[in-house]
Amino acid sequence: MIIDFRVAVPLAEYMERLPSREGIERASERADGGYARVYRDKLAEPWRMTLDAMLQSMEEAGVDKAILQAEYNGSGDYRKLNEAALRIVKAYPDRFSLCFMCLNPLVDDNMVRVVERGAKEHGFKGVNLQAWAVRVSTTDSRFWPVYDLCQKLGLIVTIHSSISFNVDRSLYYSHVSHLDRIACDFPDLKIVANHGGWPWVLEMMAIAWKHPNVYIELGGVSPKYFGTPGSGWEPLMQYGNTLLQNQVLFATDSMLPHKRCVDELKALPLKEEVKKKWFGGNAMKLLGL
């Protein structure tokens, strides 16, 4: 069983349809504008722009299921993004087992009520936080009631925990040390670190070792680099193959074609039983599938 723990809602499902180049230029105005600069050509690839193309990419790679996550990057109405995630999951329940909702801490909404309604009335199983996109830390006091509710309801919280490419905001917002503080105050909250914590990989391993409820998710990174000496991923290969083998989750974040990610991860020098856990075994246990 191969499970992509995080795919993003395609832009075409909740924003106006734009020509590829115009779409990239429009993206430069949002919080993910830095990504448009660094991955200019990649963001225009057709496979990641529409739902049909995403499903085809999954099919070609033999990916059985994916967790659809609404990721609010500072542009538009986050509510429409959540609505799109629900619509897709209801239309394709065999491919998208679950969906996670997003939040925008800058709007005048009661985030606790939003999450409670999303979980109880609509079936969301987790919350995706891209707080860096609106220049807010995930340790901001506004999130503490949200974490408390998620812990009580058994919801999973996924948090951007890696580099961001916008030059107008500090890397502080997405530093992995925030995860340690959150996990200390909410020891039963299931936390997933998106993007594996690079470039703070060794610190990420320490936090996951300390907190068994913290998971390391590998979305948005080409797996071949995990096994490349000097890339900074050496601690993941060491501890992810041994002590932390039950806390690593395969994902693409809709940034790379599924087949490329699957093929590259299969080629890594990991124990075969560990590869099975990374690809889907750990996700199944975490999600209760």
In this prediction, residue 39 carries a pLDDT of 61
Residues sharing a CB contact under 8 Å with residue 136, sequence separation 6 or more, in sequence order: 105, 106, 142, 173
In this prediction, residue 166 carries a pLDDT of 83
Q: What percent of the chain has pLDDT over 70?
A: 88
Looking up residue 92, the CATH number of its domain turns out to be 3.20.20.140
Q: pTM of this prediction?
A: 0.92
The 10s digit of each residue's pLDDT in 50-78 is 899 999 999 999 999 999 999 998 888 99
Model confidence at 19, pLDDT cuts 50, 70, 90, reads very low
Identify the domain containing residue 246 by its residue range. Answer: 3-287
Model confidence at 30, pLDDT cuts 50, 70, 90, reads low
| 254, two tokens | 């809709």
Q: Which residue has the tokens 């739902």?
A: 51
Domain count, the chain: 1
| 285, two tokens | 């246990």
Instruction: Tell me the sheet residues that pair with 186.
Output: none
**φ, ψ at 132 (rounded to 5°):** -60, -30
In this prediction, residue 224 carries a pLDDT of 97
The 10s digit of each residue's pLDDT in 264-281 is 999 999 999 999 999 999
In this prediction, residue 165 carries a pLDDT of 83
The 10s digit of each residue's pLDDT in 74-120 is 888 999 999 999 999 999 999 998 999 999 999 999 999 999 999 99
Is 157 within 8 Å of 125 (Cβ atoms)?
A: no
Crossing angle, helix 258-266 and helix 51-61, to 10 degrees?
A: 30
- Reply yes or no on whether the pLDDT at 169 is more than 90: no
